[in-house]
Amino acid sequence: MARIHFLTGNAGKVDEAVHHLAPLGHDVVQLSIDGIVEPQAEELETVARAKLEQAKAHLPDPNDWLMVEDAGLFVEALDGFPGVYSSYALSTLGCHGLLRLLDHLHSEDLHVEAGLRRAEFRAVAALMTPQGTFIGEGACLGRIAPALDGEGGFGFDPVFIPRDLDLSGQPAEIGVQGEVSTHGRTFAAVDMDLKGKFSHRTEALQDLLAQLGTADEAASAS
């Protein structure tokens, strides 16, 4: 099993990665490097791969693994904005500013209005190993709330309401009650355990792990 250097400034993300990867025997350590440039690109994967390329020279041992993870909020009515610019949009517009951008979306029918406010969080986890680079993807479907709700979480959590999930973890249609539900509340208004059940980030890591498992099986069969 390998030592994984996780390039991130966000300690919360490291905790989550340890939670998933330590039980499999991987040793995850945070890697902080000044001066990593995020390219202007529309895809999270492009940004993640560019960060891996810049950081690989900083690995203490070339046999170690390098991981990055990028996430963003994609709002349908804004053609996917803020997307890859989510960190910047959060520090400039903030949650209030995002709500104002959607002020014009109104319908007498609340169900229709909820549909107009569709959005999703997306995450990409990218892992560079001596055997190649693996990309895991995750998404959490939902909508932008009509107003700020909740004190917890971080980032755009106070304005994001996830769609309910059925027992197999699939998102229900907007307005349809599922087994896993925030009952119309935002991520900032529910506890972390409940948010974790919907998490785009968890899904991206699990996708990555599934690919690693397949690659390991193929290597041991050959």
Residues annotated as catalytic are 70
Stretch that binds ligand ITT, among 5-13, 17-25, 52-60, 103-111 (CB under 6 A): 5-13
Contact status: 90 vs ligand ITT (CB under 6 A): yes
Residue 54 in contact with ligand ITT, rule: CB under 6 A: no
At residue 131, the 3 state secondary structure works out as: coil
Q: What are phi and psi of 25, to 5 degrees?
A: 95, 5
Any contact of residue 158 with ligand ITT (CB under 6 A)? no
86 contributes a contact to ligand ITT by CB under 6 A:
yes
Cβ closest to ligand ITT, residue 26 vs residue 201: 201
Q: Phi, psi at residue 213, to the nearest 5°? A: -60, -45
- Name, in order, each residue with C-beta under 8 angstroms of 107's C-beta and a sequence gap of 6 or more: 113, 116
User: Smallest distance from the beta carbon of 114 to ligand ITT, in angstroms?
Assistant: 19
Nearer CB in complex with ligand ITT: 9/213 = 9
Q: 111-150: which residues touch ligand ITT (CB under 6 A)?
A: 121
Helix (H) or strand (E) holding 122: strand 118-129
Q: Is 88 in the site for ligand ITT (CB under 6 A)?
A: no
| Cα radius of gyration rounded to whole Å, the chain | 18
Rounded (10°) angle between helices 11-21 and 200-221: 40
Structure tokens at 113: 């209005």
**Of 64 and 162, which CB lies nearer to ligand ITT in the complex structure?**
162
Helix (H, G, I), strand (E, B) or coil at 19: helix
Contact 112, 182 (CB under 8 A): no
13 binds ligand ITT (CB under 6 A): yes
Q: Which CB sits closer to ligand ITT, 21 or 90?
A: 90
What residues make contact with ligand ITT under the rule CB under 6 A? 8-10, 13, 69-73, 86-87, 90, 121, 153-157, 187
